[in-house]
């Protein structure tokens, strides 16, 4: 990008490494993360566990509330674990 950044959020199935849903945004707001989560849940059903990093989008009450309403256990990577982000691109479903 010439100016600014683009942010990618992807929901992946860790077992198959399949990308279930993804979006790109020029803001880090929770809305585009919620859209991806809703799409993945609608298309592939409820996972047992959903793992994310501790970014503000994924710790927001709206994001965690959607998972809790679906009966999904929430797992979050350790704080400041840079290596986790490189491997997960933000989200994962198991």
- Does some domain include residue 2? no
Distance CA 83, CA 94 (A): 19
Q: Could you tell me where the beta strands, DSSP code E, fall in 1-80?
A: 7-13, 18-25, 49-52, 73-76
Question: Residue 88 has what pLDDT?
Answer: 43
Question: Residue 55 has what pLDDT?
Answer: 87
Q: Summarize pLDDT for 29-84 with one digit per residue, the tens.
A: 999 999 999 999 999 999 999 999 888 899 999 999 999 999 999 998 766 555 55
How many domains does the chain divide into? 1
Which structural domain range is residue 41 located in? 7-93
What's 87's domain CATH number? Answer: 3.30.420.10
Question: Residue 17 has what pLDDT?
Answer: 93
Question: Residue 20 has what pLDDT?
Answer: 97
Question: Residue 57 has what pLDDT?
Answer: 92
Question: Residue 54 has what pLDDT?
Answer: 87
């Amino acid at each position: 990008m010439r100016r600014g950044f683009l942010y990618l959020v992807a929901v992946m199935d860790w077992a198959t490494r399949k990308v279930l849903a993804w979006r790109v945004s020029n803001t880090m707001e929770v809305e585009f993360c919620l859209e991806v989560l809703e799409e993945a849940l609608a298309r592939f059903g409820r996972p047992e566990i959903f793992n994310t990093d501790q970014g503000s989008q994924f710790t927001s009450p709206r994001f965690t509330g959607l998972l809790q309403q679906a009966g999904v256990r929430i797992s979050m990577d350790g704080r400041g674990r840079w290596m986790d982000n490189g491997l997960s691109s933000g989200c994962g479903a198991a």
